[in-house]
Amino acid sequence: MAAQLPQLTEIGERIVLCRACPRLVKWREEVARVRVRRHRQETYWGRPLPGFGDPGARLLVVGLAPAAHGGNRTGRMFTGDDSADWLVRELYEAGFANQPTSLRDDDGLVLRNAWITAAVRCAPPANRPAAEEIRNCAGFLAEEVASLQPRVLVALGRIAFDAVSRLARGQGAASSRWRFGHGVRYEMPGPITLLGSYHPSRQNTQTGRLTREMLRAVFAEAREILREAEETTGIP
């Protein structure tokens, strides 16, 4: 499905140039300028982040937003922080990545049949984007979904889940009745199966709200859905 690559590249180019949210622009650039001590010698990305992965992906993973000293530093979603460690390890265990780590944008990570994106493309202060900022990014997510036409979508956290629910509602789904929770499953037009998961943030992983086994189960379910779909339709 390499035909999607030009579309995804063009979407990514527009995302990187976006300055629609003044608060987020100010924050991401301030973080990149000041930096933290442990990354003092590095040059931060400091711009919005496009999605990345396999342009023929049948699995789409949607997070909240780039981390201030993760993606906002490295220039790649879920790269260089604790959330990346959790997510990419489970993608690797499920066969969706060639390695279990995501440290920097040139570390050799290759996603297989998976694409990673987010509801918001700039690092927000305190990881809390405003409602208007989420709406400003909604079009980018809709374009990625339309281009990729995934079979399974995993939403990491309530903000990502709500963003996907609004997208589904715009496509005619009765998603106003959907409720976020770890392990929930809903059917979107496409057809796309939406799976909900707690976000692998420190707040969740260090308190035990999300365990590796819980996250692993979500991607095992995604893998099984894709296997069944391939047997039915012949589409890998």
Q: Which residues are CB-neighbours of 234 under 8 A, at least 6 positions away?
A: none
pLDDT at 3: 52
**Over the stretch 75-97, which tens digit does the pLDDT of each residue have?**
999 999 999 999 999 999 999 99
- Tokens read off for 20: 């629609």
pTM: 0.96
Question: Which pairs count as long-range contacts for 131-134, CB under 8 Å and 24+ apart, including other chains?
Answer: 132/21, 133/21, 133/23, 133/24, 134/159, 134/163
What residues of the chain score a pLDDT lower than 50? 1
The CATH number of the domain where 17 resides is what?
3.40.470.10
3-state DSSP call for residue 97? Answer: strand
What pLDDT sits at residue 101? 98
Task: Give pLDDT, residue 233.
Answer: 77
Question: Where does residue 105 fall: left (phi above 0), alpha (psi -120 to 50 degrees), or beta otherwise?
Answer: alpha
pLDDT digit string, tens, across residues 16-55:
999 999 999 999 999 999 999 999 999 999 999 999 999 9
Q: Is the dihedral of CA 53, 13, 154, 182 positive or negative?
A: positive
pLDDT at 138: 98
Domain count, the chain: 1
Q: Which domain holds residue 169?
A: 4-233
